[in-house]
Amino acid sequence: FDPTLMIEGVYTYEVNGIGCIPASAELTIDVENQLIAGNDAELDICQNLESYNLSDLLSANAMSGGQWYNDNDELIDSSISLIDFDGPNYTYILEGVLCPNDEAEFIVNVDEPVFAGPDQVLVFCENEGLIELENYISDPGLLDYSWTDSEGNAVGANYNPGVQTSTDYYYNLESGN
């Protein structure tokens, strides 16, 4: 029997004897499909989400029915808390009966949410000269950031009240996720 060429089912084996009634036996053949846990992956996610379903990391070719394990090889639910995060390594395992087990490894990196600081209203005299907007944010050296105007256009980090019109400026932090 070649499982790659033949289908599973009931097969009959028959023996003919000389002067005897033929005898037969039936073999029921079941074929276990090769297990596919999918591809390994890595996820960068922000902690401002309370939870994440690890099953969303499974590739399209992954078979369902597997189980999730954490760093300590403990069986866990597929939904993990990002607030009380116990990662970063997770394993999805499909256990075979006859075929070997298959597994996919996942790394989940959780970053703390970024905080740009409180909103502020700044008032300047029009002859004050060039104002460095970074002087009014909480900590400009920590993260990558950009400035935009009220229409979402990128602007520089300096403001000149004698040249530029009054508008809202937005300090946008980049978390990496």
Q: pLDDT digit string (tens) for 27-49?
A: 999 888 889 999 999 999 888 88
pTM: 0.62
Burial class (CB in 10 A: 0-12, 13-18, 19+), 19: exposed
Annotate 13-41 with DSSP letters as a single string.
EEE--TTS--EEEEEEE--PPPP-----E
Complete DSSP assignment for 82-138? STT---SEEEEEE--SSSPPEEEEEEEEEEPPP-----------TTS--EEGGGGSS
- Distance, in Å, from the CA atom of 156 to the CA atom of 90, rounded to the nearest integer, reads 42
The token pair that represents 25 in the structure block: 């036996």
Contacts (Cβ under 8 Å, ≥6 apart) of 75: 67, 68, 69
Q: How far apart are CA 112 and CA 52, in angstroms?
A: 15
pLDDT confidence bin for 128, thresholds 50/70/90? confident
For 139-156, what is each residue's pLDDT tens digit? 655 567 778 888 888 887
